[in-house]
Copies of this chain bind each other. A is one copy, B any other.
Amino acid sequence: MDLKTATEIGKCLSNETRFQIMEWLKEPEKNFPPHETLKHFNDGVCVTYIQEKAGLSQSTISTYLTNMEKCGLLISTRHGKWSYLKRNENTIGKFIKFLK
């Protein structure tokens, strides 16, 4: 991990809602209702559930999640019309290594 990437991750973690999302996604089954279509959380949680729980507008949350994916904090997977988000533990690990 280089300084630039680490700083981009820092930017994502500089906002309470975004950091909270990272925390929620540690335990999807505990923090979100079950998906009706997808019967598991293997690929994480859909945007709508995250948006509702965060209580911010759809556009704001969509932008958050896009940026969090861009810097490598999240992995996005599409299933039909839904996008599912989960933590990218690989990048998180590299970030931690860089900071430590």
Binding site for B on A (CB under 8 A): 3-4, 6-7, 9-16, 19-20, 22-23, 92-93, 95-96, 98-100
Contact = CB atoms under 8 A, between A and B. Distances in A.
Given A10-B10, A99-B92, A3 B20 contact: yes
A37 to B, nearest CB: 30
Contacts of A6: 13, 19
B22 A14 contact: no
Contact of A99 (B7, B11, B22, B98): B22
A76 B10 CA distance: 23
Contacts of A15: 7, 10
A13 B7 contact: yes
A87 B10 CA distance: 17
Lowest 7 A-B CB distances belong to which pairs? A10-B13, A14-B14, A10-B14, A11-B14, A7-B16, A96-B96, A7-B19
